[in-house]
Amino acid sequence: MQELDNKIVLVDDLGNEKEFEILLTFENEETNKKYVYYYDSNIEDEDEAQLYVSAYDDEGNLFEVEDGEEAEMVEEVYNTFLDETVVEDEA
Q: What is the pTM of this model?
A: 0.82
Rounded Cα distance between 9 and 66, Å, is 22
Percentage of the chain modeled with pLDDT above 90: 56
The least confident of 43-52, 62-71, 73-82 is 43-52
Identify whether the C-beta of residue 8 lies closer than 8 Å to the C-beta of residue 2. yes
pLDDT at 57: 94
* Model confidence at 40: pLDDT above 60: yes
Domain ranges across the chain: 2-90
